[in-house]
Structure 1
Amino acid sequence: MANDTTKRNIHEAYTIIKEDSLIIMEKYSYNLDYRITRTTKKGSYKIITRYYPNYSISSQYSVFAGNLIGVKRDYSEKGELQEEINYDRLLTECGDCASLFDIAENIRKDFKINIEKEDEIIRWSIEKDKILNSTVYKIVCPPKYPDGRSYRGLIYDLQTGKFIEEYKAGRFD
């Protein structure tokens, strides 16, 4: 028996590892619902599916480095779609902006950083940049060399789809 971050008791938990894939199945004693998390070892991207006690899907959503991304769908116990929230659309005011996965591919190519691994990303956020008057992704990664250098901050312009700045970042800025 263990506790999750919402302080519900985890009644049963199973972990399945195959090569780099990781599946975690948990049953909560609070209301006997289930959660299955699909990810990779050290993965920042997770697909979470929650189930009612009758095994019908309760909700399905994606999380990247602790933040909800993509579309979250909530269902009734009969399997009817109750609510759909597009977190990508909520986080940005532009209609056809680059997704976080496009940015992950570009950051891998341009900076040799794989932000999909949890040990290569400290945090990320979407912010309105006052100077650019545009919405940007701010991504903070560990230093390139582990010799006490500053964290690496990267700013990605959602409108142009380009990295526009690399800066020395603090742990919490």
Structure 2
Amino acid sequence: MQAWGTLVVTLATLMVVTVDAKIYERCELAKKLEKAGLNGFKGYTVGDWLCVAHYESGFDTSFVDHNPDGSSEYGIFQLNSAWWCNNGVTPTQNLCHMNCNDLLNRHILDDIMCAKRVVSLHKSMKAWDSWSRHCSGHDLSEWLKGCDIHLKTDPHNTDW
């Protein structure tokens, strides 16, 4: 009977995470990213961030990917547990000073702040292989079509 109780608690916990998760629509996410100051951050546009989020997670805040090295990647930007957050399993630098599970809900301001830290420390978006493969050097205006976003592309913008 004790196993049954454990199963119920585990399922309830998973349901809470699932209920609080969100798969964003493209323009809805674009507006959140713009509002959070990512448009023009370190010379990158909302188009860059949308492209990364699409290829990393499909705009799904609950997405987790497990790597062969034992680390995992979390949330809409797939932030790695070895470097950016603590999952309680992987040895970590925890450079964003956060629990990885905090990246799995619809509240993405913490994801955005951590992603800004990634770009600031790497001095580019090259930390995401998907950005290098699918976004860098491409016309990203398609990502913003119909979203009423006004691009800032000032390469001298170093807001943090």
Settle same-fold status: TM greater than 0.5: no
* Larger Cα-atom Rg: 1
Name which structure has the greater RCO, CA cutoff 8 Å, separation 6+.
Answer: 2
More helix by share: 2
More strand by share: 1
